[in-house]
């Protein structure tokens, strides 16, 4: 967008004259701009209504969660102005505004912060664990049922597996024969992981969960490099703590990137797993014994679920995930299977790491 177009959108939020506006962040869903005005710096976003069909429900979730985080942080004597996103009201008082090109929202930029697409050292992974553990603790007394499901059934593993099976049966892109071996690796595990998902869903408490716990959704303090705030709250909804933990391990404790074309290099890093789990367990208060015992299963399940989604999308012809090469989603599915297989082989070791951290915490 041109500067004048961004200025028009910013003007819906009393932001004043826009001095500069540049695309910001590495997200692939919403259009995000860092806007500088005479009143300060702001984040301006156009909501992707193809993904989030109800921007008002999205906004209500955001207001409920951020207000609660600020209140709890203030009661704890923390920096309530930098602990979470601060939405800016539009003209008329609402916190999202409709223009001819869609729905927009604005929040204050948290000065003195930065984000990372990948951890640069184990301490960053540890801080990521602390950040998401603290996020869970701040919201542990918030009634999760008050939140809207912004993407229904987002982590419903059985439904994801049914979708993968349908993609294979339809074989819309004519690709099944070329990946039959990898597809069978996924299909052969479907009954086990669907059953385990149902067991966890029945046994574990529903909590406020983030559902996209990559490290780039943590803001770090520029001065201390400590976790400062959790951002990108669009997928915050009721869920299971073990899935938030698991998705963070899937992305943050892997030895290779999920886009790798060399799946033999993919596995779980012992050091990064320990660093994230240590930070998370230091901050996450009130986890039940059943939750801590299921953290490694959560990591395996999220890896399996995400890999099955890549597999389904490859078979369907790359209709959901952005693909930069014909085999991109197949490569992703292969990398996730390699990561899952390594986790499966080393389950006892990873679970003992968690038990040791729980014992050390006391």
Q: What is the CATH number of the domain that holds 273?
A: 3.90.1200.10
Same domain, 266 and 186: yes
Same domain, 91 and 132: no
| Structural domains of the chain, count | 2
How far apart CA 229 and CA 226 sit, in angstroms, is 10
* Residue 206 clears pLDDT 90, i.e. is over it: yes
Same domain, 280 and 189: yes
Enumerate the β-bridge partners of residue 103: 98
Domain end (from 111, 138, 153) = 111
pLDDT digits (tens, 9 = 90+) for 255-278: 999 999 999 999 999 999 999 999
pLDDT digits (tens, 9 = 90+) for 311-342: 999 999 999 888 899 999 999 999 999 999 99
Each residue of 105-143: b (16+ CB within 10 Å) or e? bbbbbbeebebbeebeeeebbbbbbbbbbbbbbbbbebe
Q: Give domain status of residue 266, yes or no.
A: yes
Task: Give the residue with greater pLDDT, 277 vs 24.
Answer: 277
Same domain, 64 and 9: yes
- The pLDDT value recorded for residue 123 is 97
Q: What is the CATH number of the domain that holds 36?
A: 3.30.200.20
* Residue 28 clears pLDDT 70, i.e. is over it: no
Same domain, 175 and 92: no
pLDDT over 90 for what percent of the chain?
A: 86
Same domain, 301 and 273: yes
Domain end (from 55, 82, 111) = 111
- The pLDDT value recorded for residue 24 is 83
Q: Give domain status of residue 240, yes or no.
A: yes
- The pLDDT value recorded for residue 362 is 77
- The pLDDT value recorded for residue 27 is 63
Same domain, 150 and 24: no
How far apart CA 260 and CA 312 sit, in angstroms, is 18
Q: Give domain status of residue 168, yes or no.
A: yes
Domain extent at residue 202: 122-361
pLDDT band at 232 (very low <50, low <70, confident <90, very high): very high
How far apart CA 316 and CA 319 sit, in angstroms, is 7
- The pLDDT value recorded for residue 141 is 96
Same domain, 319 and 222: yes
Same domain, 306 and 167: yes
pLDDT band at 76 (very low <50, low <70, confident <90, very high): very high
How far apart CA 70 and CA 81 sit, in angstroms, is 7
Domain end (from 111, 130, 155) = 111
150 by Cβ neighbours in 10 Å (0-12 / 13-18 / 19+) ranks as buried
pLDDT band at 7 (very low <50, low <70, confident <90, very high): confident
* Residue 14 clears pLDDT 90, i.e. is over it: no
How far apart CA 186 and CA 179 sit, in angstroms, is 11
Section 52-77 average pLDDT: 95
Q: Give domain status of residue 116, yes or no.
A: no
Section 160-164 average pLDDT: 97
Same domain, 63 and 195: no
Q: Give domain status of residue 117, yes or no.
A: no
* Residue 25 clears pLDDT 80, i.e. is over it: no
Section 212-231 average pLDDT: 96
Cα 82–Cα 46–Cα 21 angle in degrees, nearest 5: 70
Same domain, 69 and 216: no
Q: Give domain status of residue 42, yes or no.
A: yes
- The pLDDT value recorded for residue 26 is 65
Mean confidence (pLDDT) of the chain: 94
């Amino acid at each position: 967008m041109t500067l004048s177009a961004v200025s028009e959108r910013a003007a819906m939020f009393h932001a004043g004259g826009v001095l500069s506006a540049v695309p910001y962040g590495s997200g692939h869903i919403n259009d995000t701009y860092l806007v500088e005005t005479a009143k300060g710096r702001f984040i301006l976003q156009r909501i992707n209504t193809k993904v989030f069909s109800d921007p008002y429900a999205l906004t209500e979730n955001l207001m409920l969660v951020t207000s609660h985080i600020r209140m709890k942080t203030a009661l704890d004597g923390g920096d309530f102005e930098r602990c979470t996103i601060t939405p800016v009201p539009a003209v008329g008082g609402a916190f999202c505004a409709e223009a001819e090109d869609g729905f927009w929202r604005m929040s204050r930029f948290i000065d003195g912060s930065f984000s990372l697409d990948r951890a640069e050292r184990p301490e960053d992974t540890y801080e990521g664990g602390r950040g998401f553990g603290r996020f869970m603790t701040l919201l542990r007394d918030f009634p999760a049922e008050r939140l809207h499901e912004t993407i229904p059934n987002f982590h419903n593993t059985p439904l994801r597996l049914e979708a993968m099976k349908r993609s294979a049966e339809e074989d819309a892109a004519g690709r099944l024969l070329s990946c039959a071996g990898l597809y069978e690796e996924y299909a052969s595990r479907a009954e086990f992981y669907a059953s385990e998902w149902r067991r966890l869903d029945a046994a574990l408490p529903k909590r406020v969960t983030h559902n996209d716990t990559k490290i780039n959704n943590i803001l770090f303090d520029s001065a201390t490099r400590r976790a400062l705030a959790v951002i990108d709250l669009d997928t915050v909804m009721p869920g299971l703590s073990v899935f938030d933990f698991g998705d963070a391990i899937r992305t943050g404790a892997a030895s290779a990137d999920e886009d790798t074309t060399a799946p033999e290099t993919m596995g779980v890093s012992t050091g990064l797993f320990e660093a994230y789990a240590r930070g998370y367990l230091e901050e996450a208060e009130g986890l039940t014994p059943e939750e801590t015992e299921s953290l490694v299963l959560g990591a395996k399940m999220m890896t399996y679920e995400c890999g099955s989604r890549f597999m389904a999308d490859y078979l369907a012809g790359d209709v959901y995930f952005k693909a930069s090469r014909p085999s991109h989603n197949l490569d992703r599915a292969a990398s996730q299977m390699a990561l899952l297989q390594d986790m499966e082989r080393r389950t006892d070791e990873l679970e003992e790491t968690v038990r040791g951290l729980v014992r050390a915490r006391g």
